[in-house]
Structure 1
Amino acid sequence: MRHLLAALVLLSTGGCVRTVTGVVTAPFKVAGQAADWATTSQDEADRNYGRKMREKEAREGRERRKYEKACRKDPRACGGYDGYQAAVDD
């Protein structure tokens, strides 16, 4: 009878052990997730840099087309291009 009672107690407390384990480990999981959210991965940094450079190159392209159009209208007033350049930080 004692063995049956002991087995019954162990089976009924199995869920409690998992719950206690979950409660104890929860703060560590939350802290780890917060650290992930607070930092930028290398993949994200590369993606953001690529987006920034594409935007800069698009701006340079627009300004160069505008410059070339102005040069076609008045070639004498045209010198070297000194407008926006994507490779140079502004």
Structure 2
Amino acid sequence: MSKIDRVKQYINEAINEIEPEIRKDSDKDRYGISKQILLDFKQNLEIMLQEVESNTIPHRDARSQKMGYLIVDSWPYNYPLGETILKAEQEYKEL
């Protein structure tokens, strides 16, 4: 599997895992993470995927790591979605 294909796979996994979390009714059911944060993260992941698929990836220094900082700083350690998003963002950053 190529590096590009692996990055797309990680990003798609994160998008697929974030969607059911967004549909939950309560922040309590999402480990205290707001629905708006998850919607913003999904949008960021979709932009990342679009950039990878269209080969318009910004220079490495210009790629955002906003999600990673927020996850590490304020998300509960036992929220499995955080690890999935971190991995997708890390792989994207390393392209």
Fold-level match, TM-score > 0.5? no
Give TM-score, length-normalised by structure 2.
0.31
Select the structure that is richer in helix. Answer: 1
Higher Cα Rg: structure 1 or 2? 1
